[in-house]
Amino acid sequence: VPLGQVYGATETGPVSIYLRRADAMQHVGAAGKAGLHVEVKLVNTRGETVTPGEVGEIWVRAPNVMAAYWADADNPAFADGWFHTGDLARCDAAGFYEVVGRSKDMIISGGENVYPAEIENLLADCPEILEAAVVGQPDARWGEVVVAVIVKTPGADLDAAQVLQLFEGRLARFKHPKRIVFCEALPKTALGKVQKAGLLAGLPAQ
């Protein structure tokens, strides 16, 4: 099914990147290209623009972007007209952006960057999984380890070994979860977003 979609935030008015229906089938998983009159760049932690294919934070500048937050003019999310979204993405040579997650959710395990959304998308393909969230749990050896917290579909017969099998041949080995935790429900905000900080705090010790 051809799907047109948009990416943005309240601060960006809201649309910054969009995928036209005509491009949907050739760029599955992409958020689209920068919108009309919108500048988008991907920036690393040193404030440098990344190269095509490399992951960086999405910065947006456009006439429809907010100038600042009310009563918080010095908030670092706004600088030189750019809004720092906190979202991470990569861009291909044709200018199509693929969002990979939130910078605050990124897991660094053994010096490698792991983006939870990439793992969560694979888990979402499994009919025996009702919902899932991926977090990084502190670890003395690796810094953090990848943990997948899963709510089974009612009546599903699923164990940790079967979950790990879902990643074989589809995801680099260092991204595979080191732990699988099953639970009855994921903690969420009133808007239905998973509260990953609360989820991490509630994980049993390794």
**What confidence tens digit (pLDDT) does each residue in 69-120 have?**
999 989 999 999 999 999 999 999 999 999 999 999 999 999 999 999 999 9
Domains of the chain: 5-102 (2.30.38.10), 106-201 (3.30.300.30)
Q: Are 98 and 89 in contact, with CB atoms under 8 Å apart?
A: yes
Q: Are 123 and 95 in contact, with CB atoms under 8 Å apart?
A: no
Cα separation of 11 and 60, whole Å? 10
Residue 164 is inside which H or E element, if any? Answer: helix 160-165
What is the pTM for the complete model shown? Answer: 0.83
Q: Compute the 3-state secondary structure of the chain and give helix, strand, coil in percent, each to the nearest 5.
A: 15, 35, 45
Taking residues 4-23, what's their average pLDDT?
Answer: 94
